[in-house]
Structure 1
């Protein structure tokens, strides 16, 4: 029986939202036609590849591409934006958890490379008429500039933008809201409804709401204190229902967080680790579209995982190594990890981004398209990106601590470490 959401506390307040830990990027799958788009119709953004995973390939920066999708599809959605707190993902988790469902992920990828540029989390809540509305969180995974730009696009194009506000002094709150206030002042700003939802003391919110309105004509509402996720959802869904006007009966949300999402027909299993048919690294970074795999993805057998685990353990055993990850370049999926921090998902995603940048520079300079190696130093810390011999598209990302000589010594030692046989993995 799912735990009641009434007794789930909000996370501790923070003066600024910190970056969400990198999420494991879903494996790209090839779909046959337009009918394989999201099941609710062509007004949804992205292409569904799993029950809880959607991906969108883009040829421009993620914020511009997502805005174009919103303009083209005109979906109705709600955006949750944290201001001095980390509550939006907590609320999505409460909504999904009450029904035994999962928070979903929209992965924005670079066209032709498959490299994940951003991961946005959301849930889909059904309306009374059988359609659904997505609820996105702006606590997303991306670099700082992309994250800020995507947050403004999500808020600006939403039907209802919700600012979840933690306990902040007036000057800190004003500073955090200033980028939004500036964006509203710049035309166009399609969103006409903002909801300020305080999770703590709300003494100065009325003045902040007036500043946000300015001369824009936007309706800015301030709710009472939302001490629990159930309170927050009641205010959000109630506001949505009132905004629907005469059509409220058809487009209403269930205001009870325990009943807002339907229970899946069967419990969703944990996503299995998938072994995709790996492309040569030069092809994966060549700029051409991903080719269809020669065979369906299949779960990684325990002996295969053990082979990669043994290999990465031996690699992390080289002098000065503190952490290491073996990952699939095409899907950014970690195959094995050893050592301390950073975690495997972060090593895989950042390693793929670095290699993609190197491949782009090589193309611009007219260099060969061979799989690149990289050695990057930050004072006494070093990163080593090392293609695994005999396994095209598989890369070792190693973190070292020590002098510059540590890199040279580590490379010499890695040359003597034999990878798993190519036929065995």
Structure 2
């Protein structure tokens, strides 16, 4: 009889355990901020990727939390090895990705991060997959993300912090601006979750202050950070990047044959070079540059550490044509963009080198569009947008109080920074937004120096006309 009464109790207990387990599994699923969507490629045994392919080189990831947090969860789950290209006071990372894509015949793809349910797009991240010498893809991300300021900065920290190799393109910045630009990255590297094994800084200008600041960064964080020599051509960027990646792969692999590792191979380089030679030969019948080395004396350029190409399929040596100085058809790194307003560029450049100046932007007060920028972060879009909002509010207050509607000339002090807003001299309709480091800048001295720069700008326009 006892056993007969115990049996229903056991059945109830088993049913309760089953329900609890089912609910627990459902509960775990509801806590996941993102979801990995199965695809035919996954069934074929290919590596899982973030988000779901929706065509035209776009992947979508739906999230229930902030984009950076969701992206970090996916990286922690999948543990991919990738390269991240970041800008410090410049905007070359997306241009570099575009050049790499063109050189390797691989499209620039996008990861669209959307809010689950509403489908609102929160961020767009660009990346390129490059086939290595062993046939496996190596992914390159750019931290120049299409998102609001907070999300863009948070996603950049996740991308750089979770990458195997971080490439930082550094503009020519004075020591104080460089220290300010590196400060948030020092804090990020000290937080949990930072896994970047190697940070390589590539200066686009002379960068005299860069080695000392990187030394301070390395001592404070124990991150393997170093600087290359100044890079001025795409081939130099590719060579330094490839060498750093290959060194990391050698350190992380026990395979004695380096060509068996996932290195950045030479196939794409040679293919792009052959295409460049064919295009040049069709456009220019001249045989070679004056003084070029004979074809047999100069081997084709390759990424350091890559597998050698077969002799019978090697294209003609690069030095035999005028395209030998650019084996990859990437945009020139570090060169100034074509400008129709050289005096304004010189003015902003000189302004950014004043002691205490972190970032400076000239913008159109009507459209809110950035016209010129120099310095580090905040970038031109942020300075232009917020500068326009501040000027609109100040001008509105001035009109309401009957004080006129001229462009305000003002300074705003925060805890660690000063903001300067003023009309641009000799530029009707333009205004200037400057960020100063409060600890290094003397506000009165900077204003006096700016007045001298104003005079030099006006003299520059007189000389041009």
TM-score (normalizing by structure 2)? 0.48
Shift of 1:237: 1.1
Of 64, 67, 70, the residue aligned with 1:65 is: 70
Match of 1:130 in 2: 135
Match of 1:183 in 2: 188
Of 256, 262, 282, the residue aligned with 1:251 is: 262
Shift in CA distance, 118/203, structure 1 to aligned 2, threshold 3 Å = same
Q: Is residue 44 of structure 1 aligned with residue 55 of structure 2?
A: no
CA deviation string 1:75-102 (max 9, x = no partner): 0000000001111111111111224543
Shift of 1:186: 2.4
Match of 1:202 in 2: 207
Q: Is residue 231 of structure 1 aligned with residue 236 of structure 2?
A: yes
Q: Is residue 164 of structure 1 aligned with residue 169 of structure 2?
A: yes
Q: Relative to structure 2, which stretch is displaced further, 64-73 or 165-174?
A: 165-174
Shift of 1:206: 1.5
CA deviation string 1:180-207 (max 9, x = no partner): 0111122342112111111111312221
Name the CA distance, whole Å, in 1 between partners of 2:270 and 2:56: 20
Shift of 1:209: 1.5
- What is the DSSP-based 3-state SS (H/G/I as helix, E as strand, rest coil) of the residue aligned with 2:216? helix
Of 140, 149, 157, the residue aligned with 1:144 is: 149
Match of 2:219 in 1: 214
Aligned length: 241
Structure whose residues are more often helix by fraction: 2
Shift of 1:214: 2.3
Match of 1:113 in 2: 118
- What is the DSSP-based 3-state SS (H/G/I as helix, E as strand, rest coil) of the residue aligned with 1:168? coil
Shift in CA distance, 175/261, structure 1 to aligned 2, threshold 3 Å = farther
Name the CA distance, whole Å, in 2 between partners of 1:32 and 1:183: 30
Shift in CA distance, 255/206, structure 1 to aligned 2, threshold 3 Å = farther
Q: Which runs of 5+ in 1 are unaligned?
A: 1-30, 264-339, 344-377, 382-425
CA deviation string 1:198-256 (max 9, x = no partner): 11113122212112212533211211111012211111111100111155422110368
Alignment of 1:12-411 (within 5 A): 33-35=38-40, 41-245=46-250, 246=253, 247=255, 248-249=258-259, 250-254=261-265, 258-259=269-270
- What is the DSSP-based 3-state SS (H/G/I as helix, E as strand, rest coil) of the residue aligned with 2:241? helix
Name the CA distance, whole Å, in 1 between partners of 2:49 and 2:271: 20
Q: What is the alpha-carbon root mean square deviation over aligned residues?
A: 3.1
Shift in CA distance, 104/32, structure 1 to aligned 2, threshold 3 Å = closer
Shift in CA distance, 32/176, structure 1 to aligned 2, threshold 3 Å = closer
Q: Which runs of 5+ in 2 are unaligned?
A: 1-35, 275-365, 370-391, 397-465
On the 8 A contact 1:164/1:199 being kept in 2, the answer is yes
CA deviation string 1:269-326 (max 9, x = no partner): xxxxxxxxxxxxxxxxxxxxxxxxxxxxxxxxxxxxxxxxxxxxxxxxxxxxxxxxxx
Shift of 1:35: 2.8
Structure ID, larger Rg: 2
CA deviation string 1:341-360 (max 9, x = no partner): 799xxxxxxxxxxxxxxxxx
Shift in CA distance, 258/175, structure 1 to aligned 2, threshold 3 Å = same
Name the CA distance, whole Å, in 2 between partners of 1:64 and 1:39: 29
Name the CA distance, whole Å, in 2 between partners of 1:50 and 1:262: 29
- What is the DSSP-based 3-state SS (H/G/I as helix, E as strand, rest coil) of the residue aligned with 2:46? coil
The higher-RCO structure (CA 8 Å, 6+ apart) is 1
On the 8 A contact 1:81/1:162 being kept in 2, the answer is yes
CA deviation string 1:85-132 (max 9, x = no partner): 111111111111224543111111111122110001111011122111
CA deviation string 1:363-402 (max 9, x = no partner): xxxxxxxxxxxxxxx8799xxxxxxxxxxxxxxxxxxxxx
- What is the DSSP-based 3-state SS (H/G/I as helix, E as strand, rest coil) of the residue aligned with 1:251? coil
Shift in CA distance, 190/256, structure 1 to aligned 2, threshold 3 Å = same
- What is the DSSP-based 3-state SS (H/G/I as helix, E as strand, rest coil) of the residue aligned with 1:122? strand
On the 8 A contact 1:46/1:55 being kept in 2, the answer is yes
